[in-house]
Structure 1
Amino acid sequence: MNHIYQHFRGEEHHFIDQVVEWKENVLMQYSPKLTDFLDPREQEIVSSVIGENAEVKVSFLGGVHETERKRALLYPDYFEPSQEDFHLSLFEVQYASKFITLSHRQVLGSLMSLGLKRSKFGDIRFYQDSVQIICADEISDYLNMNFNEVGRSKINLKQKSLNELIPHEDEIQELITTVSSLRLDVVGAAIYNISRQKIQPLITNELVKVNWKVVDSTSFECQEGDTISIRGYGRSKLASIEGKTKKDRFRIIVEKQK
């Protein structure tokens, strides 16, 4: 296992163990294993652990190609997966859009208040007045019966076919800059053009995520490929660390969502 662990952070080792267990179960039972929804970093870990193994393969689906959160299907080499094997449901939220505006945080918070795990939901998509939720089939009936308000606003759910999913493409801006270190507060301040004094309380108050996980340490060291999001400021990816300048600063390339 150590040869796998060395490529990942310590806090990711528990998830790696889980993926290895899934893989072994597929080998032993010779049948597919469907996971809950995984964030992109978890998908990357699953792909790395499974690798090019000829006996166990993996596919991901979250609705359409560009969805962010996806379910993984691990399966033996004889199996040919189809869309139905991922057991996805799509709902559209119907609400009084002329009078109220819904936010991602409001919708997600209301879903969590039903006692459901975040891993049972895929992307929550917004386009103009349309709001759509992708979820696991196994909670669709419960959701249909119990999800009837967001905050204090009454809503209705209408089940849709996956081919009616709202298309979504993020506009990306490339940023090239230099930083004195790869500490989270230093890198975040440079990306979002704010002071370290301003970003440090955001980190310690758990408003900053790295690879979709809350990080509350200002000295957390960022790595190439990390996705950083700050509530109220947006999301970006540390696409590349290009080495050091003559002034001993790290030159970084960042992909920032507009």
Structure 2
Amino acid sequence: MTTSEPRPAGGRHFEPDLRSMTRITLRPIASPMPLGFYTVAIASVLVACFQLGVFPETAGRAVALAILPAFVLQLLVGVLAFGARDVLAATLMACFSGMWLAAALVLALQPPGGTRVLGVLNAVFALFALLMASVAGRKRALWCVLCAAVPRFSAAALAGLTGVSWAATLSGALGLLLAAVAMYTAFALMLEDMRGVEVLPIGRSGPAHHAVEGELSVQLRDIERQAGVRRTL
């Protein structure tokens, strides 16, 4: 004689506790985010110095060649972040990669109307960064970089579309601010990875905080709904 399991009141179905059946496979991959943030910082400093007049106007092609590697490095960071299932970081790094490539090509080739086209591209990227910042609040490292990127690319868009000199100067100053924020974030993440604890504060909260400070049971919560586990994305 067999008996069926009792059903909860109201006919609702509750999934069993799957933690005892869960297996975790670790990939031999380090966090790519310090590299991504350092690349943002270095490329931003080069472009900012050009906008502020530290380099002569004839140095546009040299600046383009110097920031071109940022395209490759941030594309690599984006690919690795997608593999780590961090969609926010991957999307941001991949888009930064495209921006550096576009800026390098326009500076190097000087096509007719390139400045205005780059101005429109900067405006769209500033809007994208604003939308990203609105959903990245719990990942404070990304959020801080995005908050610094929005005014920088907005000023760059204004400079490209209007051609006024003060907008280019403002963009350069904000580019140095973006570089400082990205450099601090990269250094903080590297120290945390090397020492195993948070050394410099980066303001994690919510799931990002629990990923570092929480127990394993917190990490397994809602795992059946995560990408790569559920059937469709």
TM-score range relative to shorter protein? under 0.3
Q: Which has the larger radius of gyration?
A: 2
Higher relative contact order (CA 8 A, sep 6+): 2
TM-score, normalisation: structure 1? 0.20
TM-score, normalisation: structure 2? 0.21
More strand by share: 1
